[in-house]
Amino acid sequence: MDKLVIEGGIRLKGEVTVSGSKNAVLPILAATLLTDEPCIINGVPNLRDVNTMIKILRSLGKNAELDKGTVTVTPGKHTNFVADYKLVSTMRASFCVLGPLLGKLKKAKVSLPGGCIIGIRPVDLHLKGIKALGAELSIESGYVIAKAAQLKGSHMYLGGVYGSSVLATANVMMAATFAKGKTIIESAACEPEVADLAEFLIKMGAKIKGFGTPIIEVEGVRYLRGAIHTIIPDRIEAGTLMSASLITRGDILIKNVFYQHLGAVIDKLQEAGANITKTDSCLHVRPRRQLRPINVTTLPYPGFPTDMQAQIMSLMAVTAGISVITEKIYPDRFMHVAELNRMGAHIQREGPHAIVEGVKCLSGAPVMASDLRASASLVLAGLVAKGKTSVSRIYHLERGYENLEEKLQRLGARIWKEKE
Ligand code: EPU
């Protein structure tokens, strides 16, 4: 297993290009199951999660290949409607093959994904939506079995205790493309990744309105064709790089950004004292002055993303004063707190809040990544810490950041991989 070693204290400087969005490409790859025609997806990051989804597509009978940022999906010789536990349990996003399999093949057997380190993460909203479309559902031996000779459009409310669900909205929207009549999803997720999926489905011939808003309307069709699509830039990678610039008091031009997707992150970082200039598809990020503490609450889009909570916490850990960070999407997503404290941070967890008392400096230490975004927060902390930090279990980081180490190296960071 590899670990990342970082020698902190370098101000990052230069230009960096953001990769395509992990959370957009995963459901879009699942959507290719809705057609027998070839699909070409461009701007695809080479990530562990993307490769897992490609394996799932192959296990379901597709030919799928990632080559230089393009995934080509073509029909294989056989079709299979069973998504196996071994693959689904490694990545929760694979549960969103349920909707397209059911829509296209009228039946699906998909392993329940189980919990993960950031929380219990149930799938009740996915199942509620699929059931509302008239599918017969049963759970057997850890698998969801769904059948429907003909899905029927329906009016449903898909909000849960923590608000809307990104992948439940994606799953139901994909199944509804083949339902008879109109489906209305209320409390749909408004995330840009859901909108990107809708754009792809529309290219395939789906009739979808209202995406990007809490009410999505899908008019069922009989046939979907192949399509060519380019994935939106990864807003969380962009936010992580913005944080890297600020935490090192650096000066970075971040390219391939849709800053419209980053409203809450830009607002909070400006409040903390960042100087952010927007030009075309770039963001120029540097500190305006001494940074100030801020209070941040994570919320569904367009609120501050939970996937940026750990990174902003690292930034606040070295910002003088008290910041309060409240997690409203995954109340237990705080595994990074203990690791940051091992580096000298003063962070106290109180239920869904983390109270961060900024310290003058962090000190490098061996730390352990627990999940994708926690890993990113530890790398950020390592960039500013005195001495050497080693982040183990970096396979988490590789699930969602394409070449982060190389990108940071090119900005001047002293960061390299070593065998554990
Ligand atoms: N929830 C339910 N029932 C459900 C589904 C979700 O109660 O059936 C709850 C969740 O437990 C959570 C909240 O609703 O408390 C929101 O979860 P959501 O379903 O929106 O999460 P997701 O769709 O499973 C995607 C991203 C996550 C990101 C969340 C929230 C992908 C592949 N994953 O997950 O990304 O945190 O939306 O924005 O799109 C990451 O990239 O690090 C990551 C975890």
Which of 39, 96, 116, 282 is labelled catalytic? 116
Which run of H or of E encompasses 106? none
Residue 31 tokens read as 């959507």
**CA of 371 relative to ligand 1 center, distance in Å:** 14
| Amino acid at position 273, single letter | G
Is 23 a residue whose pLDDT tops 90? yes
CA 78 to CA 355: how far, in whole Å? 54
Is 399 a residue whose pLDDT tops 70? yes
Average confidence (pLDDT) over 303-332: 97
Residues 329 and 286 sit within 8 Å (Cβ to Cβ) = no
Q: How confident is the model at residue 117 (pLDDT cuts 50, 70, 90)?
A: confident
Complete DSSP assignment for 196-249: HHHHHHHHHT-EEE-TTSSEEEEE--S-----EEEPPB-HHHHHHHHHHHHHTT
The ligand 1 atom at the shortest distance from the C-alpha of residue 123 is 8
Catalytic site residue 282? no
At 115 the pLDDT is 64
Tens digits of per-residue pLDDT, 193-239? 999 999 999 999 999 999 999 999 999 999 999 999 999 999 999 99
Average confidence (pLDDT) over 76-104: 93
Query: Helix, strand, or coil here: 354?
Result: strand
At 289 the pLDDT is 81
Average confidence (pLDDT) over 79-102: 93
Output the ligand 1 site: residues, CB below 6 A.
23, 26, 92-93, 119, 121-126, 160-162, 165-168, 189, 193, 306-307, 329-330, 372-373, 400
Is 114 a residue whose pLDDT tops 70? no
At 288 the pLDDT is 87
Average pLDDT value for the chain = 96
Residue 248 tokens read as 């090192």
Considering the entire predicted model, what is its pTM? 0.98
Average confidence (pLDDT) over 368-372: 92
**CA of 125 relative to ligand 1 center, distance in Å:** 11
- Taking the CA atoms of residue 303, residue 306, residue 307 and residue 309 in that order, the dihedral angle to the nearest 10 degrees is 100
CA 274 to CA 296: how far, in whole Å? 15
- Percentage of the residues of the chain whose pLDDT score is greater than 90: 93
Which run of H or of E encompasses 3? strand 2-7
Is 119 a residue whose pLDDT tops 90? no
Complete DSSP assignment for 301-331: TTSB-GGGHHHHHHHHHTSSSEEEEE-SS-T
The ligand 1 atom at the shortest distance from the C-alpha of residue 170 is 23
| Amino acid at position 156, single letter | M
CA 101 to CA 118: how far, in whole Å? 27
Residue 314 tokens read as 């690292």
Is 78 a residue whose pLDDT tops 90? no
Instruction: Find the range with the poorest average confidence among 108-122, 179-193, 348-362.
Output: 108-122
DSSP E strands, 280-352: 282-287, 296-297, 322-326, 346-350
At 173 the pLDDT is 98
Average confidence (pLDDT) over 364-381: 96
Residues 79 and 61 sit within 8 Å (Cβ to Cβ) = yes
Is 375 a residue whose pLDDT tops 70? yes
Is 143 a residue whose pLDDT tops 80? yes
